[in-house]
Amino acid sequence: MLDEPYRWVDAIRNRRDYLEDQLEGASPVVGVAYAAGVLLLTSTPGPRKLFEVYNQVASAGVGHPADIEKLRKAIIDIAHVEAFNLSASDVSLQRLVAFGLGPLMKAAFDEIFRSPFIARMVVAELDPSDPLETFYTIDADGSFSSSAAAAAIAGTADSAEAILARLGKDDDRQVSLEEALSRALDAWAAGRIQAEREDAEEELEADRPITDEDVVAAIGGALDAGRIEAAVLDRTLPTKTKFRLLTEADLEGALAQFR
Protein backbone atom coordinates (compact mmCIF):
# COMPACT_ATOMS: atom_id res chain seq x y z
CA MET A 1 0.00 0.00 0.00
CA LEU A 2 2.90 2.39 0.64
CA ASP A 3 3.73 2.55 -3.04
CA GLU A 4 0.17 3.35 -4.19
CA PRO A 5 0.73 7.15 -4.39
CA TYR A 6 3.71 6.55 -6.65
CA ARG A 7 1.64 4.29 -8.87
CA TRP A 8 -0.96 7.06 -9.17
CA VAL A 9 1.74 9.58 -10.13
CA ASP A 10 3.10 7.16 -12.74
CA ALA A 11 -0.39 6.60 -14.10
CA ILE A 12 -0.96 10.35 -14.42
CA ARG A 13 2.40 10.76 -16.14
CA ASN A 14 1.52 7.99 -18.58
CA ARG A 15 -1.84 9.62 -19.31
CA ARG A 16 -0.11 12.93 -20.02
CA ASP A 17 2.32 11.24 -22.42
CA TYR A 18 -0.57 9.41 -24.08
CA LEU A 19 -2.50 12.64 -24.60
CA GLU A 20 0.55 14.39 -26.04
CA ASP A 21 0.98 11.54 -28.53
CA GLN A 22 -2.70 11.64 -29.52
CA LEU A 23 -2.85 15.42 -29.94
CA GLU A 24 0.47 16.13 -31.63
CA GLY A 25 -0.91 16.01 -35.18
CA ALA A 26 -3.88 18.29 -34.53
CA SER A 27 -4.50 21.33 -36.72
CA PRO A 28 -4.16 24.50 -34.60
CA VAL A 29 -6.95 26.94 -33.77
CA VAL A 30 -6.12 30.65 -33.78
CA GLY A 31 -8.17 33.31 -32.00
CA VAL A 32 -7.75 37.01 -32.80
CA ALA A 33 -9.71 40.04 -31.56
CA TYR A 34 -10.49 42.68 -34.18
CA ALA A 35 -12.40 45.96 -34.36
CA ALA A 36 -15.90 44.48 -34.70
CA GLY A 37 -15.46 41.40 -32.57
CA VAL A 38 -13.56 38.13 -32.27
CA LEU A 39 -12.27 35.75 -34.95
CA LEU A 40 -11.59 32.01 -34.64
CA LEU A 41 -9.80 30.18 -37.47
CA THR A 42 -8.56 26.66 -38.16
CA SER A 43 -8.46 24.01 -40.87
CA THR A 44 -10.42 20.79 -41.01
CA PRO A 45 -10.78 17.89 -43.45
CA GLY A 46 -14.28 17.08 -42.23
CA PRO A 47 -16.19 17.80 -39.00
CA ARG A 48 -16.66 21.38 -37.84
CA LYS A 49 -14.41 22.60 -35.05
CA LEU A 50 -15.88 26.08 -34.39
CA PHE A 51 -19.20 26.43 -32.55
CA GLU A 52 -21.54 28.89 -30.94
CA VAL A 53 -22.00 28.38 -27.21
CA TYR A 54 -24.38 31.13 -26.13
CA ASN A 55 -25.17 34.51 -27.71
CA GLN A 56 -21.74 36.16 -27.35
CA VAL A 57 -19.66 33.08 -26.55
CA ALA A 58 -18.00 30.66 -29.00
CA SER A 59 -15.76 27.62 -28.62
CA ALA A 60 -13.35 25.54 -30.67
CA GLY A 61 -11.32 22.44 -30.07
CA VAL A 62 -8.48 20.26 -31.30
CA GLY A 63 -8.30 16.53 -30.75
CA HIS A 64 -10.69 13.62 -31.08
CA PRO A 65 -13.94 14.72 -32.81
CA ALA A 66 -16.11 12.70 -30.38
CA ASP A 67 -14.50 14.32 -27.34
CA ILE A 68 -14.75 17.79 -28.88
CA GLU A 69 -18.46 17.14 -29.42
CA LYS A 70 -18.92 15.97 -25.81
CA LEU A 71 -17.23 19.11 -24.50
CA ARG A 72 -19.22 21.32 -26.87
CA LYS A 73 -22.49 19.88 -25.57
CA ALA A 74 -21.28 20.15 -21.98
CA ILE A 75 -20.40 23.84 -22.20
CA ILE A 76 -23.67 24.62 -24.00
CA ASP A 77 -25.62 22.85 -21.24
CA ILE A 78 -23.67 24.75 -18.57
CA ALA A 79 -24.40 28.05 -20.31
CA HIS A 80 -28.14 27.40 -20.59
CA VAL A 81 -28.45 26.22 -16.99
CA GLU A 82 -26.59 29.36 -15.89
CA ALA A 83 -28.92 31.55 -17.94
CA PHE A 84 -32.04 29.77 -16.65
CA ASN A 85 -31.05 29.79 -12.97
CA LEU A 86 -29.61 33.31 -12.98
CA SER A 87 -29.82 35.45 -16.13
CA ALA A 88 -28.34 35.68 -19.61
CA SER A 89 -25.92 38.35 -18.41
CA ASP A 90 -24.45 35.84 -15.94
CA VAL A 91 -23.27 33.56 -18.75
CA SER A 92 -19.68 34.75 -18.66
CA LEU A 93 -16.49 33.27 -20.03
CA GLN A 94 -14.83 33.11 -16.64
CA ARG A 95 -17.73 31.22 -15.02
CA LEU A 96 -18.12 28.78 -17.93
CA VAL A 97 -14.45 27.82 -17.76
CA ALA A 98 -13.56 28.12 -14.08
CA PHE A 99 -16.70 26.44 -12.74
CA GLY A 100 -17.64 24.30 -15.75
CA LEU A 101 -15.29 23.14 -18.46
CA GLY A 102 -12.06 23.25 -16.44
CA PRO A 103 -13.27 21.06 -13.55
CA LEU A 104 -15.00 18.68 -16.00
CA MET A 105 -11.80 18.06 -17.96
CA LYS A 106 -9.66 17.85 -14.80
CA ALA A 107 -11.96 15.22 -13.26
CA ALA A 108 -11.72 13.06 -16.39
CA PHE A 109 -7.93 13.44 -16.44
CA ASP A 110 -7.40 12.64 -12.74
CA GLU A 111 -9.60 9.52 -12.61
CA ILE A 112 -7.16 6.94 -13.91
CA PHE A 113 -9.83 4.28 -14.51
CA ARG A 114 -11.75 6.66 -16.76
CA SER A 115 -10.87 7.78 -20.28
CA PRO A 116 -9.64 11.41 -20.39
CA PHE A 117 -10.87 13.88 -22.98
CA ILE A 118 -8.46 13.78 -25.91
CA ALA A 119 -8.95 17.47 -26.63
CA ARG A 120 -7.81 21.00 -25.99
CA MET A 121 -10.36 23.80 -26.09
CA VAL A 122 -10.47 27.55 -26.60
CA VAL A 123 -13.49 29.61 -25.58
CA ALA A 124 -13.98 33.23 -26.68
CA GLU A 125 -16.37 35.94 -25.50
CA LEU A 126 -17.44 39.13 -27.21
CA ASP A 127 -17.26 42.20 -24.95
CA PRO A 128 -16.33 40.30 -21.77
CA SER A 129 -16.77 41.92 -18.38
CA ASP A 130 -12.98 41.85 -18.03
CA PRO A 131 -11.31 43.12 -21.24
CA LEU A 132 -8.21 41.09 -20.40
CA GLU A 133 -10.20 37.82 -20.62
CA THR A 134 -11.43 37.69 -24.23
CA PHE A 135 -10.10 34.12 -24.61
CA TYR A 136 -9.62 31.12 -22.34
CA THR A 137 -7.59 28.08 -23.41
CA ILE A 138 -8.19 24.79 -21.57
CA ASP A 139 -5.71 21.92 -21.72
CA ALA A 140 -6.63 18.23 -21.58
CA ASP A 141 -5.77 18.11 -17.86
CA GLY A 142 -8.24 20.90 -17.05
CA SER A 143 -5.68 23.66 -16.55
CA PHE A 144 -6.67 26.94 -18.15
CA SER A 145 -5.40 30.46 -18.81
CA SER A 146 -6.87 33.69 -20.14
CA SER A 147 -5.65 36.19 -22.72
CA ALA A 148 -6.87 39.43 -24.24
CA ALA A 149 -6.04 40.01 -27.91
CA ALA A 150 -5.09 36.55 -29.19
CA ALA A 151 -5.03 32.87 -28.28
CA ALA A 152 -3.96 29.56 -29.78
CA ILE A 153 -4.38 25.85 -29.14
CA ALA A 154 -2.44 23.21 -31.02
CA GLY A 155 -1.18 19.67 -30.90
CA THR A 156 2.03 20.72 -29.13
CA ALA A 157 3.07 23.58 -26.88
CA ASP A 158 5.79 24.64 -29.32
CA SER A 159 3.23 24.90 -32.13
CA ALA A 160 0.96 27.14 -30.02
CA GLU A 161 3.95 29.27 -29.01
CA ALA A 162 4.95 29.66 -32.68
CA ILE A 163 1.47 30.97 -33.46
CA LEU A 164 1.52 33.54 -30.66
CA ALA A 165 5.04 34.62 -31.60
CA ARG A 166 3.93 35.11 -35.19
CA LEU A 167 0.99 37.24 -34.08
CA GLY A 168 3.34 39.38 -32.01
CA LYS A 169 2.89 40.96 -28.60
CA ASP A 170 1.07 44.10 -29.78
CA ASP A 171 -2.44 44.35 -28.35
CA ASP A 172 -4.01 45.76 -31.52
CA ARG A 173 -7.73 45.04 -31.43
CA GLN A 174 -8.72 47.75 -33.90
CA VAL A 175 -7.82 45.96 -37.14
CA SER A 176 -10.42 45.11 -39.78
CA LEU A 177 -11.78 41.59 -40.28
CA GLU A 178 -9.80 41.28 -43.52
CA GLU A 179 -6.55 42.11 -41.72
CA ALA A 180 -7.45 39.83 -38.81
CA LEU A 181 -8.04 36.97 -41.27
CA SER A 182 -4.65 37.56 -42.90
CA ARG A 183 -2.89 37.61 -39.53
CA ALA A 184 -4.73 34.49 -38.36
CA LEU A 185 -3.95 32.56 -41.56
CA ASP A 186 -0.28 33.50 -41.38
CA ALA A 187 -0.06 32.53 -37.70
CA TRP A 188 -1.99 29.28 -38.26
CA ALA A 189 0.48 28.32 -40.99
CA ALA A 190 3.43 29.04 -38.68
CA GLY A 191 1.95 26.74 -36.04
CA ARG A 192 1.29 24.00 -38.60
CA ILE A 193 4.82 24.25 -39.99
CA GLN A 194 6.31 24.06 -36.48
CA ALA A 195 4.26 20.93 -35.72
CA GLU A 196 5.36 19.25 -38.96
CA ARG A 197 9.01 20.02 -38.24
CA GLU A 198 8.67 18.55 -34.75
CA ASP A 199 7.00 15.46 -36.18
CA ALA A 200 9.86 15.02 -38.65
CA GLU A 201 12.33 15.40 -35.73
CA GLU A 202 14.51 17.69 -37.81
CA GLU A 203 16.37 19.73 -35.21
CA LEU A 204 18.13 21.99 -37.70
CA GLU A 205 14.89 22.46 -39.65
CA ALA A 206 13.02 23.43 -36.46
CA ASP A 207 15.37 26.39 -35.94
CA ARG A 208 15.12 27.64 -39.52
CA PRO A 209 13.02 30.82 -39.87
CA ILE A 210 9.59 30.36 -41.44
CA THR A 211 9.51 31.97 -44.87
CA ASP A 212 6.61 33.31 -46.92
CA GLU A 213 7.02 30.31 -49.22
CA ASP A 214 6.60 27.98 -46.24
CA VAL A 215 3.40 29.77 -45.26
CA VAL A 216 1.96 29.59 -48.78
CA ALA A 217 2.77 25.88 -48.98
CA ALA A 218 1.15 25.16 -45.60
CA ILE A 219 -2.07 26.98 -46.49
CA GLY A 220 -2.14 25.32 -49.91
CA GLY A 221 -1.74 21.93 -48.26
CA ALA A 222 -4.62 22.67 -45.89
CA LEU A 223 -6.88 23.61 -48.80
CA ASP A 224 -5.89 20.46 -50.71
CA ALA A 225 -6.63 18.24 -47.69
CA GLY A 226 -9.81 20.00 -46.54
CA ARG A 227 -10.86 23.58 -45.96
CA ILE A 228 -10.12 26.64 -43.89
CA GLU A 229 -12.88 27.16 -41.32
CA ALA A 230 -13.45 30.54 -39.69
CA ALA A 231 -16.14 32.09 -37.51
CA VAL A 232 -16.67 35.43 -35.81
CA LEU A 233 -18.50 36.90 -32.88
CA ASP A 234 -19.63 40.10 -34.58
CA ARG A 235 -21.03 42.89 -32.40
CA THR A 236 -22.51 44.62 -35.47
CA LEU A 237 -25.02 41.81 -36.05
CA PRO A 238 -28.57 42.99 -35.21
CA THR A 239 -29.53 39.62 -33.67
CA LYS A 240 -29.10 38.51 -30.06
CA THR A 241 -26.65 35.86 -31.15
CA LYS A 242 -23.42 37.33 -32.49
CA PHE A 243 -21.94 34.10 -33.89
CA ARG A 244 -21.46 33.75 -37.65
CA LEU A 245 -19.58 31.18 -39.71
CA LEU A 246 -17.62 32.82 -42.51
CA THR A 247 -18.32 31.70 -46.07
CA GLU A 248 -15.83 30.93 -48.83
CA ALA A 249 -16.56 34.39 -50.24
CA ASP A 250 -15.65 35.97 -46.88
CA LEU A 251 -12.31 34.11 -46.90
CA GLU A 252 -11.44 34.60 -50.55
CA GLY A 253 -9.75 37.99 -50.19
CA ALA A 254 -7.49 36.86 -47.34
CA LEU A 255 -6.65 33.51 -48.99
CA ALA A 256 -5.75 35.27 -52.25
CA GLN A 257 -2.78 36.88 -50.47
CA PHE A 258 -1.24 33.44 -49.90
CA ARG A 259 -1.54 32.07 -53.42
- What residue spans define the domains of the chain? 27-256
Q: How confident is the model at residue 72 (pLDDT cuts 50, 70, 90)?
A: very high
Reported as a single tens digit per residue, the pLDDT across 18-31 is 999 999 889 999 99
Supply the pLDDT for residue 259: 78
In this model, does residue 227 exceed pLDDT 70? yes
Q: How confident is the model at residue 236 (pLDDT cuts 50, 70, 90)?
A: very high
Q: Which residue has the higher pLDDT, 205 or 50?
A: 50
Q: Please name the amino acid found at residue 6.
A: Y
Supply the pLDDT for residue 83: 85
Q: How confident is the model at residue 2 (pLDDT cuts 50, 70, 90)?
A: very low
Q: What average pLDDT does this structure show over 119-136?
A: 91
In this model, does residue 5 exceed pLDDT 70? no
In this model, does residue 84 exceed pLDDT 60? yes
Supply the pLDDT for residue 168: 85
In this model, does residue 94 exceed pLDDT 80? yes
Answer for the pair 38, 225: CB distance below 8 angstroms, yes or no: no
Reported as a single tens digit per residue, the pLDDT across 166-210 is 998 767 788 999 999 999 999 999 999 998 888 766 555 556 788
Q: Has this prediction a pTM greater than 0.85?
A: yes
Q: What average pLDDT does this structure show over 57-85?
A: 93
Answer for the pair 94, 130: CB distance below 8 angstroms, yes or no: yes
Quick one: CA torsion of 66, 43, 170, 130, rounded to 10 degrees?
A: -30
Q: In the CATH scheme, what is the code of domain 27-256?
A: 3.60.20.10
Q: Which residue has the higher pLDDT, 128 or 229?
A: 229
Answer for the pair 121, 59: CB distance below 8 angstroms, yes or no: yes
Helix H or strand E segment including 159: helix 157-167
In this model, does residue 45 exceed pLDDT 90? no
Which residue, 134, 230, 147, is CA-closest to 182? 230
- Report the chain's mean pLDDT, rounded to a whole number: 89
Q: Which residue has the higher pLDDT, 206 or 251?
A: 251
In this model, does residue 230 exceed pLDDT 90? yes
